[in-house]
Structure 1
């Protein structure tokens, strides 16, 4: 989950195979289980391939069917063609001629009886990408049984799936290292319909977007579609099956005392409603997601955005601290609520949890960076295990630029660091990619699994159009240089509501960079961040002046203008003017 691709992430063929001298088709989706005579120790290997014209990503899952291994494991195989490994992850992968050796990483040398380990690699090839004939674990050929005489069958050939079809789920008891890799994402038909109704909207409407479950009523589906839609959780899961999608994304977003530092997305549950959050919100979602009917789907949950970092940055003693954030820190509602969600949802074999990790313009300073990671660890520990966390997501529903090629913390102007500029304001990071990669390292260093991956929401951080800088400024004034050179054109990096001038960012894609599981569109483009003026509603959504284009700001945004678009509806409702601007300013351009 931590490796970048070595070739284009666009897949022209998706295959899922397991190999052996004789093979037996285990499911109708193309998993083949290895089978040939072996020593008594025993092991089973599942080998999946996501292939394009000149390369492929291979994923290997090995299950030890023999005695526990305590001093390191080694998986070996021989390629039948001219495949050449270029990169590996979650194992030390080396190749000599056709022979490949994958050794356990130092942090995971043990492999108990019936325990599994997974690793992956990128490789080049030409001609036919033939499947290896067999695999071995510590010198024992893997037959799929604990001794000789396992089940046999005549060879079935090499099944393959058409482009866009989903790969099968990982073996029982294991999960895909990167749930986004090699599978097609769910396209929400409600969002598609709104996008297609806009001029040119069909250019982007086939991109997968997340489904927001932002109140209890949304679990079963709401009676009107003025905001986030009428379909419920089960409706979306059924639609994902009908599409043959490989993964579907939900935003779990209804904490008690939700969004304690803002008003536009205040929720329906009060600060002491943790019992209701558990029994009326999380439990029903978990029950639906656990239905065996959906076992073939990778269900990805984005867990409670704009929550845990508020307990670090927006309590008493901080600029703009609020009484509600003080309350939620004192009563443990956020930590315990997220812990409960991670526990219930993480127990489901095909569910993957990504916890919200703010963005560089929020917690990029040293005073916020490590403390935010620590409170995220507290929430994971409250779930019973850090294993309930697949990874983290940054920039959710935000606008921070993915890369700032001309403004990096190391950049100097006339002897002055750009960190001294008003825009950077001594932040250690200036863009989202470097922040996400660094924050992942911080999370691993304090106890999270080494194979966690990051997501970056790129739905509205493209900042394209005619005003996008194409070269660094020649100014010798540090503030002028930064303002003329930066990709992010917000008035202040703390501005978050319906930002004027924004554009669609990178399209959703898996494994785009080291440590990044995917670029995703979690905030569906065109759905408002909040209303420009007070609009009464029954969804618990208030009016925040940061969504008012006339607002002159507060301590959290340096008392700057909000930069918000006028005429916006309540949070989650369709905002046509914003969607059209996002398309016009898309980068890469449409």
Structure 2
């Protein structure tokens, strides 16, 4: 997955008119600040167990484990138990969200040891991720995509309303803000319709390699605050999600050579640089960070913007609220480890050149389909290891 370049944003945020430096992917701890008032009250993950995505677990158990060497099977079984976000990347997956919410409600009502929180990604904007062929979506603006998207959001809202006692963390449209102009109306609709008492929403904030550059921080803060305010400062908008489907370290001692001189070379530095800038504009942001594939640092990326099935990566820290930083609500696994970022087949209509780079593991299947060799790589390189 790629966070799109900010060409259209220059229409609304003039400071982005200058070319952006190249992008990134890295991995791994966090600081202390007061809880916010305008946004969702308190860390929604505290005192709750993140719900394991049974669909991902099934992929690991049925697709991965049978093909693995016997020495890796026990570790893979533990991966299958890890909570990871469920991606609603087509409208057909929304009913599966309803099934999961029903399961969580039943477990919570039965007196489970810890109340579970559902963790989901909304990812179906029209002309989604238009700069990355590998992850193009099912709707287009030209084919009544906005109306289709509103129906998609209405279906998600209906599921959430059926289970008002189930807490939910929802990441809204990774990669969307890079196409800010075309996506603004759809995002406003989503933030408005999903503004429910049991929901905490996190807008996607890319990662340090796109927006952590000093010249980009203030324009990025302006953008996020604008989206928040344009949606009438909805209370359920808790904050921002970083490093989604990327590889960046949370905290790294020595900045890798491929970061090109960006002082905010990990997600911790990026979060702590961005937070006061959005807070100054009334958006008291708290964060979650995807650490699912950032276990190896530095990565084998040739350039910080290389995002597709990067070689040498490993599973990262386990999902937790023990972040060491009060700005950081939780470390989470958002991108399902083992699902392809995109195909290396040059004859495919969804082929993206990034997936054919020398630092991309090949041959690779289509985006979001199971990539056994990549899963095995993540498993072998996991840090900390699964023991």
Between the aligned partners of 2:117 and 2:185, the Cα distance in structure 1 is 27
Q: Are the counterparts in 2 of residues 380 and 388 from structure 1 also a CA contact under 8 Å?
A: no
Check the 8 A contact 1:340/1:382 in 2, yes or no.
no
Match of 1:462 in 2: 295
Note if 1:503 corresponds to 2:314: yes
RMSD between aligned alpha carbons? 2.4
> Relative to 1, partners in 2 of residues 1:342 and 1:392: Cα closer, same or farther, differing over 3 Å?
same
Q: Residues 424, 278 of structure 1: CA spacing in aligned structure 2 closer, same or farther, 3 A cutoff?
A: closer
Counterparts of 1:303-314 in structure 2, within 5 Å, are 303-308=172-177, 310-311=178-179
Paired with 1:387 and 1:576, the residues of 2 have a C-alpha distance of 41
Instruction: Give the TM-score of the pair, scaled to structure 1.
Output: 0.54
Alignment-derived partner of residue 234 in structure 1: 98
Contact 1:437–1:516 (8 Å) recurs in 2: no
Residues 281-305 of structure 1: CA deviation (Å, up to 9, x unaligned): 11111111111xx222111110010
Structure showing greater relative contact order (alpha-carbon pairs closer than 8 Å, 6 or more residues apart): 2
Kept in 2, the 8 Å contact 1:360–1:429? The answer is: yes
Residue among 355, 358, 362 paired with 1:547: 355
Contact kept, 8 Å, 1:336 with 1:382, in 2: the verdict is no
Whichever structure has more strand as a proportion of its residues is 1
Compute the displacement of 1:441 (Å): 2.1
Distance 1:370 1:386 in 2: 22
Task: Note the 1:175-214 alignment, pairs <5 A.
Answer: 177-197=42-62, 198=65, 199=73, 200-214=75-89
Q: Deviations over 1:525-549 (max 9, x none)?
A: 111111111576xxxx82211112x
1:315-394 aligned at under 5 Å gives the runs 329=180, 332-346=181-195, 348-394=196-242
Paired position in structure 2 for 1:289? 160
Report if the CA contact (8 A) 1:254-1:277 is conserved.
Answer: no
Q: Distance in 2 between matches of 1:243 and 1:581?
A: 34
Hey, what's the Cα distance between the residues in 2 that align with 1:195 and 1:334?
34
Structure 1's 281 and 535: CA in aligned 2 closer, same or farther, altered over 3 A?
A: farther
Using the alignment, how far apart are the partners of 2:159 and 2:346 within structure 1? 35
Q: Secondary structure at the match of 1:373?
A: helix
State the shift of 1:181 in Å.
0.8
Give the alignment of 1:398-409 within 5 angstroms: 398-407=246-255
How far has the Cα of 1:176 moved from its partner?
A: 5.0
Stretches of structure 1 lacking an aligned partner (at least 5 in a row): 1-86, 92-106, 109-116, 118-173, 221-231, 312-328, 408-417, 469-486, 552-560
Find the partner of 1:518 among 324, 330, 350: 330
Q: 1:383 to 1:444 in 2, by over 3 A?
A: same
Partner of 2:28: none
Equivalent runs, 1:36-435 vs 2, <5 Å: 90=34, 177-197=42-62, 198=65, 199=73, 200-220=75-95, 232-244=96-108, 245-272=115-142, 273=144, 275-291=146-162, 294-308=163-177, 310-311=178-179, 329=180, 332-346=181-195, 348-407=196-255, 423-435=258-270
Does the CA-based 8 Å contact 2:365-2:371 persist in structure 1? yes
SS at match of 2:330: strand
Q: What corresponds to 1:96 in structure 2?
A: none
Counterpart-to-counterpart distance in 1, 2:375 and 2:277 = 35
How far did 1:447 drift? 2.0
Query: TM-score, length-normalised on structure 2?
Result: 0.81
Shift of 1:368: 2.1
**Residue by residue, what CA displacement relative to the aligned partner does 1:107-166 show, whole Å, maximum 9, x if unpaired?**
97xxxxxxxx9xxxxxxxxxxxxxxxxxxxxxxxxxxxxxxxxxxxxxxxxxxxxxxxxx
Go from structure 1 to structure 2 and tell me whether the alpha carbon gap of 1:90 and 1:406 turns closer, same or farther (over 3 Å shift): closer
Indicate yes or no: 2:386 matched with 1:574.
no
Structure 1 residue 249 displacement after superposition: 1.0
Flag structure 2 segments of 5+ consecutive residues without an equivalent.
1-30, 66-72, 109-114
Indicate how the Cα distance of structure 1 residues 378 and 589 shifts in structure 2: closer, same or farther if over 3 A, else same: same
Per the TM alignment, residue 382 of structure 1 is displaced from its structure 2 partner at its CA by 2.2
After superposing on structure 2, the runs of 4+ consecutive aligned residues of structure 1 that deviate more than 6 Å are none
The DSSP-based 3-state class of the residue aligned with 1:578 is helix
Partner of 2:381: 585
